[in-house]
Structure 1
Amino acid sequence: MTSAPTPHPDEEYVVSRSASTLAFVESPVQLLNVLEWAYAHDAAPTGARPTGAAPLLDAVPPQRDRRPGPTPAADPPRIVVLPPTDPMSRGQLRRVASLARDEGYDVHWQEARGGSGAPLKALASLAAAVRGAERIVVGDPFSRFVQLLLAPARAAELVVVDDGTATMEFVAQLGRGERLRRWHRTGGGPAARARELVYAPVSGTARRRLTPGARRRVEVFTSMPVEALPGMELRVNDFAWTRSRFGPPRLTRGTDLVGTSLVETGVVDPARYLEAVRTLTREHGVTRYFAHRRESPEKLRALSEAAGLEIVRPDLPLELIARRGPIGRTVVSFPSTVVHTLPYALAGTGVTVAVRTVDPAWLTETASPRARGFLAGVTDTARDVRRLPAQAAPAAG
C-alpha cells in the first residue's frame, strides 16, 4: 500500500466553506492557466487588470491585433490544488501556488492520492463547496477524481482551462459524443476494461456536465487550436498575465531543446528518442535541454552523456521559465503543448520557436492508434513556429 506524501509545511488543507467560483488543478500548468483565466476575465484579486476580456476564438487562430470583446467580470476563484504524488510535479505546484498567493488568491492544498482513504476523505471534504459553487473551473476533464467531483455539482457555469494539448482531444471527443479518454491510452487488459465498465456512469455524468446546455454555460479557455461546439464559448489564453509580470527575457546565443514525456507515456521508443535528440543537438547547436517534469533521471542522464547537453529541471512551468529568462534565441520542441503556448508567452521577444515532428517509425508497438494523427495535428496546427524539415527516422540501438 502506498502511503500519502508528507505535506510541505506551507501546504494547507481545503476548507468546505462555499465560494462562487471554485477551481480544481492537478498540475503546475493547470494552476498557471487558472491565473491566466482570472486575469483575462477581470477576476484577479490584486494587481493590474486587463482592459477587456480575452477575445473569442474562431476556427482559425486569432491575429495579434484582434480586438477583445466584453465579458462579465468574475469573482476571484478559490483554488484547490489536488497534487499528484511525484516529487517534481509537487515541487512545481508549490512554486506556482506561492505565486498565486502572492497575487492574493485563496489557495488550498488537498491530498487526494497516495493513501487508500485519501480520495474518499478529499471527496467528503470538498462536497459541500462543490455543491455551493456557481462556477467551477477545471484543468483536466479526463481526471477521474475531477469527474467524481463534478457528479454533485450544481454550477450553472463550467470552465475548462488548458492541461496542454489534451484540450484538443477533449473538445473533439465531446463533439463526437465519445467517452472521455486520454489520447495515448490503449484498451488495456480484461481488468482495465472491467474497471472502465464500473466507472462508466461517473464518466458519463461528467461528460454531460461538460456539455453546453440550456441551463449550463461551458467555456474553454485555451491556447490550442480547437473549434467551438454548439453552445460552447472559446476564449484565447494568450498568457497576458505572464507577459505582464515577467520579462522580457535575456536571450542567449545557443539553442534550447524542450523535453517531452512521450517515452514515459509509452508512445515513443526510448532509443529512437535518444538518437533524435542527438541529431537535433548536432544540427541546431542545442546546448540546454529543458526536462519535462515526468522524465526519469536515468533517461536524462543518458541524454546528457549521449548528446553532451546541460540538463535543466525547471521548478516552474516552461512558459514562466522562458519569460523570465535567460532563454535561447531558438527554442526547439517535439510536438507538445509549448509549440502552442510559447509563441504567446514570448511574443515580441525575438525568440523563434521551432517544432520537430515525430517520425511514425519512432512510435512503439503499444502506442495507441490515435498517436500518429494526434501528434501530426499538434504540429500542423501550431501558429508562429518554424517547422523543421522531416528527416529519415534515426535507427534504434
Structure 2
Amino acid sequence: MTPSASTLAFVESPVQLLNVLEWAYAEAVSTPGGAVRLDGVPRQPGPLASRGLRPSPDAAAENAGPENAGPQDAAPAGARFGDAARAASWLRIVVLPPTDPMSRGQLRRMAGLARDEGYEVAWQEARGGRLAPFKALAALARDVRAARRVVVGDPFSRYVQLLLTLVRAEELVVVDDGTATMEFVAQTGRGERLVRWHRVGGGGLPGRVRELAYAPVSAGARRRFTPAAGKGRRVEVFSSMPVTVHGAMTLRVNEFAWTRSRFGPPRLTKGTDLVGTSLVETGVVDPARYLDAVRALTLEHGATRYFAHRRESAEKLRALSEATGLEIVRPDLPLELIARRGPVGRTIVSFPSTVVHTLPYALTGTGVTVAVCNVDPAWLTGSASPRARSFLAGVTETARDVHRLPAQTASAAG
C-alpha cells in the first residue's frame, strides 16, 4: 500500500464497510470542494454492476452450501462518482476479515462495491494463528502512523484497540457497528471499560490473566475514544442509533444516503419478510424459545421468507425451515442493501437488532413497514449477561418509525 491516503479506515464486518461508504459519501457532500466530486455526474453502471455483482470465486466458495438460498444478483451499483484516483487518494479501507465464511463472502462483495466507488481496499488477514495479529500490525504500522484521520468500525475490537496504540492522528471517527454503538457511547460517557453488552465473565484463571495483560491497551483505547475538550483531539460518531454524545465527541447521523442514491426503490411483494438474529449464537436467547417465536410470527403475519443473519448456523436455519416452511435466504450483502434493491415484503418483522434502526432510513419513502417484536425475558438463557434484558428493551423502545408488535405476540411464542 502507498502511504498517500490521508484517511485510513479499518473494518471487520460487512456492515462496518457499508457504513464507511455511507460516511465517505456524507463527508464528500458536506465538504466544500470535497474529496470526491458528487454533483453533476450522471449515473452509470460501475464495473461490478456490469458483471451483475457476481461474487468472486473466493466469495462463491465461501458462500457455498445448501443453506445459501436466495438471490445472488444485485441491482446496479450506480455511478463511480468523481475521479477514482482522487477518491483513493483521501480514503483507504483496510479489511480485517473474521474467519467465518459468510462474513468473508459478504465482505468481499462489499469490497467490490467500495472499489467501484474508486476507493482502494486492502485485505489484511489478522486472525488464524498466534502470530497473525502481530504480522498484520507490522504490515500496517507505517500507514497507521502516517494517517491524519482514522476511521474504525468496532471500538470493542481488541485488534482495533491495539492499532490505536500506533495512531498519531488527531481525528478519530467511529462508524456504526450496529446496536453496539449505543453501548459504546454509554460506556465511554460513564468512564467504564469497553465490554460488549452480551459478554459475561469466563475463561477461568487464564482468561483473567489475559485480561490483566491487556488492561493497559484497553485503557489507552478508552482514553482515545473520550477526548477532553480543548485538547486538540476529536472523535466523531457516525451513527443511525439513538445516541447522545459527550465531552468532545461530535455526532453525525447516518441516514443511508449513499444506499438510497445507488439502489432501488425496490419492488414490493405482498408478503411479510422476517429478519433473523444471532441472539441464539451469542448465548442470549434459548434456541427452543427462538424457534417458537419465529413459528408464532410466521403464522400471525403470513411470513414467507426469513433473511438469515450471517452468524446463524446452518443447523438452526434448517430446523427453522422445517418447523415453519419459511424460505431461508442467506443475503450476500448487508440487509439494508438487499432490502433497498428488492424485491422486499411490504412488512419486515425483526427482533431487537440493528435493522430496526437502519431500515427505516434505507427504505424511507418506499411504503415498507418495519415492525419489531421484543424479546420476552422468559426467552433469555441462564448464561445471558445481566445487561441483556434492559439492552434489548432499549433497542426496541428507541427505534424510530417502526411498528411495535403487541407484547402478547412475544409472550405467545413462549
TM-score for the superposition, normalised by structure 1: 0.88
CA-to-aligned-CA distance 1:344-363 (integer Å, 9 cap, x gap): 00000000000000000000
The aligned residue for residue 206 of structure 2 is 191
CA-to-aligned-CA distance 1:99-151 (integer Å, 9 cap, x gap): 00011001110000012221111000011111111100000000000000000
The one-letter amino acid paired with 1:393 is S
Q: Distance in 1 between matches of 2:106 and 2:337?
A: 11
The one-letter amino acid paired with 2:225 is L
The aligned residue for residue 236 of structure 2 is 219
Name the SS of the counterpart of 2:150 in structure 1.
strand
Q: Does 1:17 align with 2:7?
A: no
Q: How does 1:71-110 map to 2 (within 5 A)?
A: 76-110=90-124
Distance 1:179 1:75, change over 3 A: farther
* Cα pair 1:355 1:386 within 8 Å, conserved: yes
Q: Does 1:337 align with 2:351?
A: no
Q: Distance in 1 between matches of 2:213 and 2:110?
A: 35
What's the offset of the Cα at 1:212? 2.2
The aligned residue for residue 301 of structure 2 is 284
What's the offset of the Cα at 1:187? 1.1
Q: Distance in 1 between matches of 2:264 and 2:370?
A: 17
The aligned residue for residue 5 of structure 1 is none
What's the offset of the Cα at 1:76? 3.3
The one-letter amino acid paired with 1:249 is P
Name the SS of the counterpart of 1:42 in structure 2.
helix
What's the offset of the Cα at 1:49? 5.0
Match of 1:125 among 136, 139, 150: 139
* Cα pair 2:4 2:89 within 8 Å, conserved: no
Q: Distance in 2 between matches of 1:219 and 1:106?
A: 22
Compute the RMSD of aligned alpha carbons.
1.7
CA-to-aligned-CA distance 1:78-110 (integer Å, 9 cap, x gap): 100000000000000000000000110011100
Q: Distance in 2 between matches of 1:299 and 1:48?
A: 44
CA-to-aligned-CA distance 1:277-307 (integer Å, 9 cap, x gap): 0000000011000000000000000000001
The one-letter amino acid paired with 1:200 is A
Q: How does 1:223-238 map to 2 (within 5 A)?
A: 223-238=240-255
Unaligned stretches of 5+ residues in structure 2:
41-86
Q: Does 1:150 align with 2:136?
A: no
What's the offset of the Cα at 1:17? 2.4
Name the SS of the counterpart of 2:305 in structure 1.
strand
Q: Does 1:48 align with 2:38?
A: yes
Name the SS of the counterpart of 2:130 in structure 1.
coil
Match of 1:38 among 24, 31, 39: 24
Match of 2:280 among 258, 263, 275: 263
What's the offset of the Cα at 1:254? 0.3
Compare the two structures and name the one with the higher helix fraction.
2
The aligned residue for residue 369 of structure 1 is 386
Runs of 4 or more, structure 1, over 6 Å off, are none
The one-letter amino acid paired with 1:210 is F
The aligned residue for residue 364 of structure 2 is 347
* Cα pair 1:165 1:337 within 8 Å, conserved: yes
Name the SS of the counterpart of 1:375 in structure 2.
helix
Match of 1:168 among 164, 175, 182: 182
Q: Distance in 2 between matches of 1:175 and 1:116?
A: 33
CA-to-aligned-CA distance 1:25-80 (integer Å, 9 cap, x gap): 00000000000001001178657359xxxxxxxxxxxxxxxxxxxxxx99731100
The one-letter amino acid paired with 2:97 is P
Match of 2:327 among 310, 328, 332: 310
CA-to-aligned-CA distance 1:148-175 (integer Å, 9 cap, x gap): 0000111100000000000000000000
Q: Does 1:357 align with 2:374?
A: yes
The aligned residue for residue 58 of structure 2 is none
Match of 2:261 among 244, 260, 282: 244
What's the offset of the Cα at 1:194? 2.0
Match of 1:322 among 339, 347, 361: 339
* Cα pair 2:147 2:168 within 8 Å, conserved: yes
Q: Distance in 2 between matches of 1:393 and 1:352?
A: 22
Q: Distance in 2 between matches of 1:109 and 1:199?
A: 26
The aligned residue for residue 202 of structure 1 is 217
The one-letter amino acid paired with 2:362 is A
* Cα pair 2:152 2:175 within 8 Å, conserved: yes
What's the offset of the Cα at 1:395? 6.9
* Cα pair 2:226 2:247 within 8 Å, conserved: no
Name the SS of the counterpart of 1:283 in structure 2.
helix
What's the offset of the Cα at 1:18? 4.7
The one-letter amino acid paired with 1:195 is R
Name the SS of the counterpart of 1:234 in structure 2.
strand
Match of 2:411 among 365, 384, 393: 393
Name the stretch that deviates more: 123-132 or 40-49.
40-49
The aligned residue for residue 310 of structure 2 is 293
* Cα pair 1:16 1:127 within 8 Å, conserved: no
What's the offset of the Cα at 1:16? 6.0
Q: Distance in 2 between matches of 1:19 and 1:286?
A: 46
What's the offset of the Cα at 1:231? 1.5
TM-score for the superposition, normalised by structure 2: 0.84
* Cα pair 1:238 1:345 within 8 Å, conserved: yes
Distance 1:49 1:196, change over 3 A: farther
Q: Distance in 2 between matches of 1:42 and 1:17?
A: 21
The aligned residue for residue 65 of structure 2 is none
Name the SS of the counterpart of 2:407 in structure 1.
coil
* Cα pair 1:47 1:103 within 8 Å, conserved: no
